[in-house]
Structure 1
């Protein structure tokens, strides 16, 4: 009887051990699978973060490269305009050409102001040329506008000798100014022709929709 009870107890213990082992293996497998999924999710998230960082870095590098290209283009255009300003001195050396240029600048200034009295300021060395131009332009202005005009040339205050040439023109109280120095005209032309200059130097911008 004791042997039978002992055998039953051993069988029951083995059954319990087997069931416990089975449950342990099942739980272990579940935990392993859960942790494996967590690890996979973690590394997938890390991979996405790295990929996103790569895209951001690439975008930053492309933007930096684009800015460098734009700066290089702007520097080239600035150098071209600076070279053009240096060449203005050649125009002034040709007295006949410079006189004709002054005639046009002064007459244009008169039309821009449309004032009955104006004062012209120029470089000291250009006084004679400006006076001559004024005498020629007053009749042309009166004929075109049917208005009287008095033009004075400033003998006290002169434009800087460092500029290439041209004039500045003021109304009688000095509140309105027309700058027709050679440098200011070159700057204006440079601004107006900037789209054409860029196309000539770098080709047409395929991304640009408007040209004004």
Structure 2
């Protein structure tokens, strides 16, 4: 028996087509799942980044709004405080103005006392002479005060001459008088009328009030704690 007859030839079998397809489907499914997993991770990362970015923007926006609201509150509070302070100051000024008006009304009582008023006119006339120190001066007064002013001028001229060692020519204006609505006093002018000393009772009261205003305010409203200088 020959060797060729003794061996049996076995033809190799190809893998079944179904198994290959199954393996390919499994690999493809695994690849798709991995791809979806990667996509999901990347999506979550991007989503987290976007959420964090928007969260920071929102926080920054509301912080900015909060600061704006706080600033507006401060401005409104400052405006309200300034308005209240101005109202207080106006009320104080109105009170002082009322007191000054009342004091001006009381000046009429001084004028009614002829002896007291004559003494006052003497001082006002002489003081006006000293303030001008002019060789020629004109005195103007109310019409009803003309006799008293003449007496004051006659008394003041020799005193002025003795004190200043100068001659003086005094003219009492009998054509133009001070308004009737003032309490009294005099106005004294130099020769050309360009320089005037106002020694009316109202002007003297205003001057005294201006000089004493810090004391008046302290007496009415107490010491000013914000004031640093007293003169």
Please tell me the TM-score bracket, short chain as reference. Answer: over 0.9
* TM-score when normalising by structure 1: 0.96
- Map of 1:80-159 to 2, 5 A cutoff? 80-159=99-178
Q: Deviations over 1:42-85 (max 9, x none)?
A: 11111111111111111111111111111111111111111111
Distance 2:70 2:216 in 1: 41
Q: What residue ranges of structure 1 are gaps of 5+ in the alignment?
A: none
- Stretches of 4+ moved more than 3 A in 1? none
Decide which structure has the larger Cα Rg and report it: 2
Aligned to 1:170: 189
Aligned to 1:196: 215
From 50, 55, 62, give the equivalent of 2:81: 62
Matched, 1:9 2:35: no
Matched, 1:36 2:55: yes
Question: What RMSD in Å do the two structures reach over aligned CA positions?
Answer: 1.1
Question: What is the CA-CA distance between 1:150 and the residue it aligns to?
Answer: 2.0
Question: What is the CA-CA distance between 1:155 and the residue it aligns to?
Answer: 1.2
Q: What residue ranges of structure 2 are gaps of 5+ in the alignment?
A: 1-19
Distance 1:181 1:68 in 2: 33
Distance 1:185 1:191 in 2: 10
Question: What is the CA-CA distance between 1:210 and the residue it aligns to?
Answer: 2.1
Count of residues paired in the alignment? 212
